[in-house]
Amino acid sequence: MKILSLCITAMLLGGCTFAGDGKEEDPLFLYKGTNLSDHKYISSIINSLPYKDDMKSFSKYPDEKQITLRYDVSNKKKFGTILLTNATYLYCLTKDTEKIVFIFDDVRQTIYKEDVEKWYGNTDYEKAESQKELDAMIESSAKKHNGVTLGNL
């Protein structure tokens, strides 16, 4: 018992940590499988999404299985990337979302779950277990489609 106590003390003083399952490094995926009705976790997911600094606000409508995200983005070339990235993340991490409405000042775009499935040609994005894995899928798919625009998503 003394040896275990000494080892733990040495690790704490030395700054070492146990290897664990990797989830400590990818906190966003701790929320995977969240129901839209769980406000606390949905808020945590949305506030951790890529491009969160461009987001003004969000609303969720559990009965309609919808999330609405409002952005303040002046660069219209960025719209498609935000749409694909954040729709992919939300459909991967939430259990019952079927519709996401993106509002960019004067532009309103609705992305259904089927749109994302059609974009990827499958539902593999739902199986992603880390941000790194999901980002690689998004990047690969965007290259395959020669970029992301409002017209091709």
pLDDT of residue 114: 94
pLDDT, residue 75, reads 76
Please tell me the distance from the alpha carbon of residue 94 to that of residue 32, in angstroms, as a whole number: 6
CA-to-CA distance for 125 and 120, rounded, in angstroms? 8
Q: What is the pLDDT of residue 101?
A: 97
pLDDT at residue number 5: 42
Below-70 pLDDT ranges, the chain: 1-25, 147-153
Domain boundaries, the chain: 21-144
Residue-level pLDDT at 12: 39
Q: What pLDDT sits at residue 92?
A: 96
What angle do the packed helices 131-144 and 113-120 form, to 10 degrees?
Answer: 70
Enter the pTM of the model.
Answer: 0.79
Instruction: Give DSSP secondary structure letters for the chain.
Output: -HHHHHHHHHHHHHT------SGGG-GGGGGTTB-TT-HHHHHHHHTTSTTGGGEEEEEEEGGGTEEEEEE----GGGHHHHHHHHHHHHHHHBSS--EEEEEETTEEEEEEHHHHHHHHTSSGGGG--SHHHHHHHHHHHHHHTTS--TTT-
